[in-house]
Amino acid sequence: MKILIGNFVLADSPDPVPISNLRIACAGNVQAAQFFRAAAAQFYDRGNQKTEITFDTTQLWPNQLAAESYLLMLRTMFPTTGLVTFIAGVKGTQTASRYLRNAVVQNLQSSMLGACTTRHSFKISGGIMQTSPN
């Protein structure tokens, strides 16, 4: 899967930015109504659907300086809000694109694994996944 925010590539599996621990959570506002002497509570969907996507990436660098520089500057390299594009499948074969409009990179955690490997954990929040970018 390839994940982009704007034109910046957050993940591109299997190479050069492999993705792991991809999780998608969808939720909305639900109102619970508890009526006097009712046998069971009733629940009402109040909309406001949201999608939260979390994933990890790792990158291998030619040297320690390149890895540390990327680690320190990653947050400044891409927009924190905008259209997030998910391209499922393998390049060169059949693919499917899905879009999360007005999404926000809510959380980014980065770390070093050894001298030349960086690991990044992303959390992206948005509305409902769409089949077109508009």
Average pLDDT over residues 36-62: 94
Average pLDDT over residues 32-49: 92
Question: 69: number of CA atoms within 13 Å, CB side?
Answer: 6
Average pLDDT over residues 29-36: 92
Cα 12 to Cα 89: distance, rounded to the nearest angstrom: 11
Angle, vertex CA 44, rays to CA 38 and CA 46, nearest 5: 155
Cα 41 to Cα 19: distance, rounded to the nearest angstrom: 41
Contact of 5 with 103, CB cutoff 8 Å: yes
Cα 2 to Cα 19: distance, rounded to the nearest angstrom: 8
Share of the chain above pLDDT 90, in %: 90
> Is the pLDDT at 92 greater than 80, yes or no?
no
Cα 19 to Cα 31: distance, rounded to the nearest angstrom: 36
- How high is the pLDDT of residue 20? 94
| pTM to 2 decimal places | 0.86
Average pLDDT over residues 46-61: 95
- How high is the pLDDT of residue 15? 79
- How high is the pLDDT of residue 16? 83
